[in-house]
Structure 1
Amino acid sequence: MGSTTKRYRADPLYILGSIVEHHFVISQLAKRAILGRYRGTVLGLLWSLVTPLLLLAVYTFVFGTILQVRWVSQSGGNAEFAAILFSGMLVHGILAECLTQASTLIVSNPQYVKKVVFPLEALPWVTVISAFFQGVISTGILLIYLFFVEGSVPWTAVLFPIPLFVLAFVCIAAGWLISATAVYLKDIAQMMGLLTTVLFFMAPILYPKSALPVEFQSLLYLNPLTYIIEQFRAVVLWGELPNWSGLSLYGIASVAIAWMSLAWFQKTRKGFADVL
């Protein structure tokens, strides 16, 4: 009698192929996740607009009015510290949400694990889409802020999806790797808070890279957020074009890691039902 063990796709094309093949399931679950975040609140989905607006208002008052902090880019451009801080926190928030949600993604959805035909590999995409939904809205708020408070928006701001698109591969790689590993190692969920905090302070969010001694500046690039934050700020705040070669290399590395993470997820998923 032949083996009935199901083989799951883990080829490089399936990184994006998974979202195409299961687009209906992913879109429905993502919609539920986004709306569910604000279910039962008075403002509902409007909170996705109100929250970044309030944050920008607070940052502007504290850092612009009270502390009068300025941040000068290496190219000589300058912007309100509130906008710089907000842009960095925006990028960090996307990855942080993906990491945190991934740690309980499979464990908290055992009903999907026991459905033989359910595409479990689609679940991390739901988290990624939900996180990027808020990230894109926050970017829109940031652009409006730049227009009304600083008087102009660089034309290069239209390129903001490019660094975020590259970040998406980091997020889905983390989603597949962490969600699968957390099924077998419950400590993963407890580590995510510490990890996201370390990623925050080890990225140029609160301080410019130039604030560090030269010999330590390169260490910031061990943080996957550092380069994306720099490129996001370059196009949105400084009016610079992206570093195409740098983003390309970063993207290739991210896709390679996503491929390995997908392979790990597909290999380990066979034991999910036994553990859960």
Structure 2
Amino acid sequence: MTPMAVKAVWNYRGFILGSVKREFQAKYTNSMLGIAWTVLQPLAMIIVYTVIFSQIMRSKLPGVDSVFGYSIYLCAGIIAWGFFAEVVGRAQNVFLDNANLLKKLSFPRLCLPVILVLSSALNFLIIFGLFTFFLVITDNFPGWAIFYLIPVIAVQIILAVGLGITLGVLNVFFRDVGQLFGVVLQFWFWLTPIVYPANILPPSIQELMKYNPMSSVIGAFQNIMVHGQSPSWITLWPTLLLGGLLCVWGLRLFQKHSGELVDEL
């Protein structure tokens, strides 16, 4: 993003924050449980997977003696994946979902990705805050190691935004892109060591995991939250590089086709 684009987005910060606030409020209008719905879906997934896999996987986690070890491992992975999937899923439809806004109002188009990242980050913070509270009351809080999550989350956001904006532009011109990626995302979830630890896989498959950019991010989350240790930073560099390249490609696609984009909506 160029300095001029950053300045343009900053000048519309009121519009961005107002949009995030309106979206958050609208999401729970006429809802009896309100904000609880943000937590219930990932919580239901965690409970189901814990019940099904806890006895099988508990002994497979190296160096984990806590009775909550597998639950923490699972929560860390699902919460991290949920944030990534929400950003990418919304970004691939960001231009289609805001077609009326794009046609009627004049504003920097890059405000839209910023709005969706902030909105998704707000949902993530709510869920992560409750997860942190659980860790504190069960005496499993990782301590100062939790601050290692800041650069890990930054890498995750860069990858999610780069991939999401690239898909978002392509999805305007080729509507099958969104449908296809929804299927890819389901396979991607199970090909990432979220529910299971990577050490149970054959060595050849573990080698292939290195080419999964989310594997290093999820592994970093789990290492921090389960063991309270610094992640392997060297494994995050390829993910950061890929995310950066996708951001550059996505922005170039957007700039090149911005004139045609509105006509196609």
Question: TM over 0.5: same fold?
Answer: yes
Change (3 A) 1:262 1:253: same
Instruction: List, as ranges, runs of 4+ consecutive aligned residues in structure 1 with deviation greater than 3 Å.
Output: 13-22, 49-64, 71-74, 244-250
Q: Which residue of 1 aligns with 2:183?
A: 194
Q: What does 1:130-145 align with in structure 2 at a 5 Å threshold?
A: 130-145=119-134
Compute the displacement of 1:15 (Å). Answer: 7.9
1:86 to 75, 85, 88: 75
Compute the displacement of 1:186 (Å). Answer: 0.7
Q: Which residue of 2 aligns with 1:22?
A: 12
Structure 2 residue runs of 5 or longer lacking an equivalent are none
Give the Cα separation in 1 of the matches to 2:52 and 2:57.
9
Higher helix proportion, which one? 2
CA RMSD of aligned residues (A): 2.6
1:184 to 159, 173, 190: 173
Q: 2:252 matched to 1:266?
A: no
Which amino acid is 1:27 matched to? L
Q: Which residue of 1 aligns with 2:219?
A: 230
Q: 2:141 matched to 1:153?
A: yes
Compute the displacement of 1:194 (Å). Answer: 0.3
Which amino acid is 1:128 matched to? V
Give the Cα separation in 1 of the matches to 2:11 and 2:235.
30
Which amino acid is 1:207 matched to? Y
Change (3 A) 1:61 1:147: farther
Give the Cα separation in 2 of the matches to 1:241 and 1:16.
32
Check conservation: 1:157, 1:239, Cα contact below 8 A.
Answer: yes
Structure 1 residue runs of 5 or longer lacking an equivalent are 1-9
The alignment partner of 2:210 has SS state of helix
Change (3 A) 1:15 1:46: farther
Compute the displacement of 1:146 (Å). Answer: 2.2
Show CA shifts across 1:112-154 (max 9, x none): 22246222222122222222222222222222222333x2311
Q: What does 1:1-276 align with in structure 2 at a 5 Å threshold?
A: 11=2, 20-52=10-42, 56=46, 63-64=53-54, 67=55, 69-70=57-58, 72-73=60-61, 76-79=63-66, 80-115=69-104, 117-149=106-138, 151-155=139-143, 156-248=145-237, 250-276=239-265
Alignment length, in residue pairs?
A: 262
Q: Which residue of 2 aligns with 1:3?
A: none
Give the Cα separation in 1 of the matches to 2:4 and 2:79.
28
Q: Could you tell me the percent identity over the aligned residues?
A: 24
Give the Cα separation in 2 of the matches to 1:20 and 1:169.
19
